[in-house]
Amino acid sequence: MTEKTFNLFQKREGKTQSFTEASKQADIRSVSQENNNEDAPNLKYFSYITKDNTYHTAHVLNKIIKAKPENLKYACLVISYVEPVLAQRLLGEFPEEVQVHVVSELLSLIQYSKAEIENFDKILRRLLTEQFGGKFVVAKLLEELDIEKKSLLMQEFSRRYPDAAPLFRRIMILFEDILSLGDTPYHRIFSEVSNEILSMAFCNQSTEQQNRLYNILPKGLKNIVQQGIDLGKKKYSRTEINKAQQYIIEYAKQLEKDGFIDPILKGENPPSLTSS
């Protein structure tokens, strides 16, 4: 969720609360009080939600909300109940308009019965075990492919499924897409990556691309990276180079998601893999 969106709902009834504070205040952990039990359930429910399946969890919750808007309360339930790190990851997977509604609801105390929590816990567990695939899984599958294999795969996919090709292209952001960014996002990304990663990622790039990188680096760091690139041309394998480039891609995607840079692929029709 962007800082701008959060700030819209940061104040309510004259009181300022953070998302974490609002989550803590949500009354779902007080369910045990109905039974005069002083011990909270301590994350007894939704324990199957992990950082590896937050995308799938948000996808399922989104479908539940679309089926019936009042089901938004179940997204609030899950986000309030899981650990803060998972809650933030989950919230970030929702469309911005849903994020706004969730945060707005969490700023108020919400009461759930124990039976309601247990019932939805079972429903969500079952739905998650029936969900397979998705763009998150596809993105992970493509990470290890080099540019030649990605290009061939994209060409064949575009030929067979032209309507889905733009979505597929957006999933498959390439290192070349990062290199083609304007000066401001380019500097924002590459000035914060370690010299070891830079040396590895750029050792198979053109002199023009290497010089562009050198121009944004302080003199001392430039010399270190330049030496690393020169040595890396014979030292690093294609797999190591791909991993370094993928690291930078993921870092750039996170900056994009957090609103620090503009969308990496702009417009409805992203550039083709075969474009020069």
In this predicted model, what pLDDT tens digit does every residue of 121-142 receive, in sequence order?
988 888 876 555 555 566 666 6
Residue 25: its pLDDT value, please?
A: 42
Phi, psi of 50 (to 5 degrees): -130, 175
Q: What percent of the chain has pLDDT over 90?
A: 23
Region 70-74: mean pLDDT is 89
Domain 137-257 = CATH 3.90.1170.50? no
Residue 97 φ then ψ, to 5° = -65, -30
pLDDT-based confidence at residue 256 (cuts at 50, 70, 90): confident
- The whole-number average pLDDT for the span 187-197 is 93
Q: What is the dihedral of CA 135, 140, 145, 150, to 10 degrees?
A: 10
> Is the per-residue pLDDT at 165 higher than 80?
no
30: DSSP letter:
G
Tokens 């309360």 found at: 73
pTM: 0.47
How far, in whole angstroms, is CA 257 from its chain's centroid? 6
Average pLDDT over every residue of 213-218: 94
Whose tokens are 């994350």? That residue is 43
For residue 109, the number of C-alpha atoms closer than 13 Å in the C-beta half-sphere is: 6
Does the pLDDT of residue 92 top 70, yes or no? yes
Question: What are the backbone dihedrals phi and psi of residue 15, each rounded to the nearest 5 degrees, phi first?
Answer: -120, 140
What's the chain's average pLDDT? Answer: 77
Task: Give the whole-angstrom CA distance, residue 114 versus residue 118.
Answer: 6
Residue 2 CB neighbour total at 10 angstroms:
13
Mean pLDDT over 185-195 rounds to 93
**What's the rounded mean pLDDT across residues 137-148?**
66
Q: Where is pLDDT greater, at 230 or 52? A: 230
Give pLDDT, residue 96.
85
Supply the pLDDT for residue 54. 83
pLDDT for the residue numbered 38 = 41
Tokens for 198, please give them: 């830079």
User: How much is the pLDDT for 132?
Assistant: 55
Which band of pLDDT confidence, cut at 50, 70 and 90, is reported for residue 15? Answer: very low
Residue 7 reports pLDDT greater than 80: no
Please say if the pLDDT value at position 6 is more than 90.
Answer: no
Place of tokens 């309507």: 163
Cα–Cα dist 14/9, whole Å: 11
Res 5 pLDDT > 70: no
DSSP structure class, residue 15: E
Q: 222-250, pLDDT tens digit by residue?
A: 999 999 999 988 889 888 898 899 899 88
**CA atoms of 60 and 225, how far apart (whole Å):** 44
List the one residue out of 251, 270, 92 whose CA is nearest residue 186: 251
Task: Answer yes or no: are the C-beta atoms of 9 and 91 closer than 8 Å.
Answer: no
- Domains of the chain by residue range: 3-132, 137-257
Number of H helices, E strands in the chain: 16, 2
**What's the pLDDT score for residue 254?**
87
pLDDT at 134: 57
- C-alpha dist (Å) from residue 264 to 179, 194, 197, 212, 276: 10, 21, 20, 18, 17
In this model, does residue 35 exceed pLDDT 70? no
Rounded alpha-carbon distances, angstroms, from residue 88 to 20, 85, 101:
9, 5, 15
